Amino acid sequence: FFYFPETHGISFRIQISVKELLDTDVLLKLLFHLPVNYPSTLPDISVSSDQLTRTQCMDVKEKLLEQAKQHLSEPMVHDLILWVQQHLKDIIKQSTTVCNEKTTLSKETEDGIWMLLLHLDHMRAKAKYVKTVEKWASSLRLTGRLMFMGKIILILLQGDRSSIKEYLILQKTSKVDVDSSGKKCKEKMMRVLCETEVESQHKRFHTFEVKEYPAPEELQKEFETAGLTTLFSEFVPPLLK
């Protein structure tokens, strides 16, 4: 597995293989992010698998977090991995039943749609970086904009909360850029300007696009069109100084 020591905690990925219903192997990828005050704070967990649907992965994650709550204040990752290996079959069975009864729309309403605004200091390997962000947004079904205006780089994302959290972990733990000597490096200069639930007055972005704006007015117009005037006036003017 990969190990990422960070100032804001530790993230690592673990891949486990679990025998599923028809005795086929399910390869489960678990990404744990342990905050600095873990284990008295719950870890962030992301679950993905090519053999499971998105809803099933979400259900596995929810069940893991329920288990984690029972182990609060004691190291729990090892126990959680053992637990998921033993219970994956049951979770998938339940998940399939529930999935047939519920529409995806009600699932989305339940979780609510969230929005994230990030500020990046620079991109040395711009083409590669942009491609990576587009790939993540697409695989996590996030919409929004990667915005360039002069030296300002902003990423505005909308999607379900778990995907937004997963995106943040990827952005912090993957080698997305290169340093001054051309070596691959992680994003150290990123700031989360805002992470909030999308309100009714906000318009939803239907796609994820990369855009360059010749002037602050054009950038402001993009925010205004999306019903995000307050977001713009609160966070962007300080960056223009």
Residue 107 domain-assigned?
Answer: no
For residue 235, being part of any structural domain is answered with yes
**pLDDT band per the 50, 70, 90 thresholds, residue 220:** very high
Q: Are residues 33 and 81 in the same domain?
A: yes
Residues 3, 12 contacting (CB under 8 angstroms) = yes
Has residue 44 got a pLDDT over 70? yes
What is the tens place of the pLDDT at every residue in 169-213?
Answer: 888 888 888 788 888 888 877 888 888 888 777 788 889 999 999
Mean pLDDT of the chain: 83
Judgement on whether residues 219 and 178 belong to the same structural domain of the protein: yes
Residue 4, in any domain of the structure: no
Q: What CATH number is associated with residue 61?
A: 3.10.110.10
Burial class (CB in 10 A: 0-12, 13-18, 19+), 15: exposed
For the segment 227-235, the average pLDDT, to the nearest whole number, is 90
Q: Does 148 fall in a domain? A: yes
What are the pLDDT digits (tens) for 96-154? 555 444 434 434 444 578 999 999 988 988 999 999 999 999 999 999 999 999 999 99
CATH number of the structural domain spanning residue 159: 3.30.70.100
Please report whether residue 104 resides in a domain.
no
Q: Based on the domain organization, do 152 and 221 belong to the same domain?
A: yes
**Helix and strand tally (H, E) in the chain?**
8, 11
- Residue 171 domain-assigned? yes
Beta carbons of 132 and 180 less than 8 angstroms apart: no
* Residues 149 and 64 both lie in one domain: no
Identify whether residues 147 and 189 lie together within a single domain.
yes
Same domain, 145 and 224: yes
Written as six digits, the tokens of 18 are 């679990």
Most confident of 22-26, 48-52, 215-219, 227-231: 215-219
Label residue 67 by pLDDT band (50, 70, 90).
very high
| pLDDT score, position 137 | 94
Number of domains in the chain: 2
pLDDT of residue 178: 77
